[in-house]
Structure 1
Amino acid sequence: MPDRTLILGGARSGKSVAAERLLSAEPDVLYVATGGEDFGDAEWADRVAKHQARRPASWGLAETIDLVPLLASSGSPLLIDCLTLWLSRTMDSVDVWSDLSRAGLVEQRITELADAWATTARRVVAVSNDVGSGIVPADPGTRLFRDLMGRLNTTISLTSDQVLWTVAGRTLPLT
């Protein structure tokens, strides 16, 4: 039986460190970074460098939002960091920000990802932000992002073997 773990929490809560800790005994992990290019953003480059410095040198790296083929294949454990950036970049890829009626295309990709997650034979740990606990966003695009993020987290959570909540560097199981 595969081990599918979802780690949720707020921004900078320690989710990535918790995910890395869960897989620390594994010599061969594929770290899947969904954040994309930094395009000259020094702060983003610094975040990426800190993540890279924490990971064992033996871990591989894939920078992609094309998660379905990775989940469908066999191999070493996956650490997906993170589903929040996956959703943002997926929304970018279908240009939903300029035409909110394209949200159905994003929902289709969420369904495809959730199906692959539910049936993967790989051990996988994914990190995702809980963005629904704050204020209601003022604009329709950001509200759509919040709503889709909630749908994605719920869908992945319901087919996970383990769901963890991280706050202030502490990780608690959700049952």
Structure 2
Amino acid sequence: MADRTGAILVTGPARSGKSEWAERLAADSGRPVLYVATAREDPDDADWSARISAHRARRPSDWETLCVPTELEVEIRAHAESNACLLIDSLGTWVANLLELDDETWQMRVERLLSSLAHCSAPVILVAEETGWGVIPAYPIGRQFRDRLGGLTRRLGPCCSAVYLAAGGHVLDLARLGTPLD
């Protein structure tokens, strides 16, 4: 089993409430919150812009926001000794931003992310989408995204002190209720 970090993983399907749950956990931490957004803004995509605006509108005004589309490991290390709670939303977008990487480079990035979390004393809350509950994507890039994100969350889960699943209007603590896989 992997060494546990103080990180918390919140996962679930689209529109499940995972970001809202992660935001509640961050607010309840009693610490200043550093919101680490992985999304890249696209002024030509009105729907994407509306989603980003909705996330911003929910956050308290005193939360600092950093836009970090690809260098999560660097940002976690930079704030490893911080008094702030780091809320990273979302790993799915981070994976999508790095799809052009070959498999070896991708695995190195995953290892760097896991290492940065293992060496971080600041609380970290990670939001990740569940994508593998539907049909197998018909295109290679879709399968690559699904497999990389699924593999990443499987690697993260055993390292986290808590793993929550948001689905059907409820949140389950998987680390407490579930049995870890080897």
User: TM-score, normalized by length of structure 2?
Assistant: 0.86
- For residues 34-88 of structure 1, the C-alpha deviation after alignment (integer angstroms, 9 at most, x for no partner) is 0112232111111111111111111000001211122223211100000000000
Q: Which runs of 5+ in 2 are unaligned?
A: 176-182
Measured in 2, the distance between the counterparts of 1:58 and 1:35 equals: 20
Contact 2:5 2:159 in 1 (8 A): no
Shift of 1:2: 5.9
- 1:88 is matched with 96
Shift of 1:27: 4.9
Root-mean-square deviation (CA), in Å? 1.6
Measured in 1, the distance between the counterparts of 2:167 and 2:135 equals: 18
Measured in 2, the distance between the counterparts of 1:49 and 1:144 equals: 28
Measured in 2, the distance between the counterparts of 1:18 and 1:128 equals: 12
Measured in 1, the distance between the counterparts of 2:67 and 2:75 equals: 12
Contact 1:165 1:172 in 2 (8 A): yes
- For residues 98-120 of structure 1, the C-alpha deviation after alignment (integer angstroms, 9 at most, x for no partner) is xxxx2221121111111212221
DSSP-derived class of the 1:134 partner = coil
Quick one: structure 1 residues 141 and 168, their matched pair in 2 at CA, closer, same or farther if it must change by over 3 Å? same
In the alignment, structure 1 residue 52 sits paired with structure 2 residue 59: no
In the alignment, structure 1 residue 14 sits paired with structure 2 residue 17: yes
In the alignment, structure 1 residue 122 sits paired with structure 2 residue 129: no
Measured in 2, the distance between the counterparts of 1:2 and 1:108 equals: 19
Equivalent residue for 2:75, pick from 48, 55, 70: 70
Q: Which runs of 5+ in 1 are unaligned?
A: 97-101
- 2:142 is matched with 142
Q: How much identity, in percent, do the aligned residues show?
A: 34
Post-superposition, which runs of at least 4 consecutive aligned residues in structure 1 deviate over 4 A? none
User: TM-score, normalized by length of structure 1?
Assistant: 0.89
Number of residues of Structure 1 aligned to a counterpart in Structure 2: 167
Contact 1:83 1:126 in 2 (8 A): yes
